[in-house]
Amino acid sequence: MKSVYIHIPFCDNICSYCDFSKIFTNHNITDNYLNLLEKEINENYKHEKVNTIYIGGGTPSSLKLNELEHLFKIVKKFNITKNLEFTIECNPENTSIDKIKLFKKYGVNRVSIGVQSFNDNILKLLERKHNKTNVFNLINNLKNNGISNINIDLIFGIKDQTLKDIENDLNYFCELDIPHLSYYSLILEENTKLYINKYIEEEDDIIASQYDFICKKLKEFNYIHYEISNFAKKDFYSIHNLTYWNNNEYYGFGLSSHGYINGYRYENTKSITKYLKGKFLINKYKLSKKEAMENELILGLRKLNGIDKLNFKKKFKKDIEEIFNISDLINTKQLNEKYGRIYINEENFFISNEILVNLLLNERSVEDDRSI
């Protein structure tokens, strides 16, 4: 089985922190974009069973009703499983009840909402166009129309953001009574408005203390910290995102999308002009065994339950200890091993990049044969 990611690049507003591929909504080209998206899918999808579909962006909810219906009719091409997880990303200010009803009609059963904060001053800095009332109204409308599998995104690590600000955001989140939260630290990316305006980043030790506070608070609220930036109630993990973290294969369609199919990773163009001329692909390469094992490590150790040693051996015909010097990191408590799994303790999640660097620097030699 495969997963499918579809990128909708249109946004009614460009947020100050966003580095994703996006353009201002232009309804003169949206139908043309969707036609080319359908063409790309027809040329590349091999009709495997699909168990997750994720429509992201950009802002998919910036599409008009007829454009969304066009998109959903394209999605019906996929050979879906009975228990399909079908997610769409939305913004609070442009997701009407009519759009929600259309989601329901076409089988969307999970919605991810870009909230980022409930604090008006932070929303202004991030150049978001909604407020707290918009968020609460949207979630009530989703629930009233039978969609209760809901995620919201929040951001911490913003300069001068206090623990009280974060606590308020978490309290509002709990008041919403929804099953999933993605909580990201602000990363200053080149070509964003914040970067261009010389925004000063928060200090690392303050960000670390905020992360620790978030983790403890959500544990009090009975959310499971199942991945570095993701928290969920039992049975509400993001199945689509677990495809990435489990290093399984998936299709990526649309502007700037990435995919991983039959041992090949590929990347689509970020140029809307090229995409609308049918020039979708800009890079495709076959992973070597070494690269595939490194990806397994980097992605798998993002999860609370880490990497299954037997599964690693089944995939690569090698014990993980033959490739990575994990014993030293286990001895220093940077890694743990239990019940046949290698994982990073939750209290070390914040320094996971440092742990991964140590693992990769001590990687044992392996034949780099471009075959998996």
Strands (E) in 58-165, as ranges, are: 79-90, 110-116, 150-156
- Token pair in block for residue 175: 């008041």
Residue 275 lies in a domain: no
Show which of 190, 214, 244 is a domain's final residue.
244
Question: Does 220 share its domain with 76?
Answer: yes
By mean pLDDT, which of 49-58, 110-119, 316-325, 358-367 is the weakest?
358-367
Query: Average pLDDT in the 80-96 region?
Result: 97
Residue 281 lies in a domain: no
- Say yes or no to pLDDT of 242 above 70: yes
Q: How far apart are the first and last CA of the chain?
A: 18
DSSP code, position 301: T
Show which of 216, 244, 272 is a domain's final residue.
244
- Specify whether the CB–CB gap between 97 and 74 falls below 8 A: no
Residue 258 lies in a domain: no
Number of compact structural domains in the chain: 2
Helix, strand, coil percentages in the chain from 3-state DSSP, rounded to 5: 40, 25, 35
Q: What is the pTM of this model?
A: 0.95
Residue 274 lies in a domain: no
User: Long-range contact list for 351-357, CB < 8 A, 24+ apart?
Assistant: 352/228, 352/301, 352/302, 355/301, 355/329, 356/297, 356/298, 356/301
Show which of 190, 218, 244 is a domain's final residue.
244
Residue 230 lies in a domain: yes
Question: Does 159 share its domain with 227?
Answer: yes
Residue 278: the pLDDT is 97
The DSSP-derived string for 311-361 is HHHHHHSS-HHHHS-HHHHHHTTSSEEETTEEE--GGGGGGHHHHHHHHHH
Neighbours of 130 (CB within 10 A): 21
**Cβ contacts of residue 274 below 8 Å, gap of 6+?**
none
Q: How far apart are alpha carbons 103 and 110 in whole angstroms?
A: 9
Query: The dihedral of CA 142, 148, 149, 155: what is its sign?
Result: positive
Q: How far apart are alpha carbons 77 and 258 in whole angstroms?
A: 20
Residue 252 lies in a domain: no
pLDDT for 179-231, tens place per residue?
Answer: 999 999 999 999 899 999 999 999 999 999 999 999 999 999 999 999 999 99
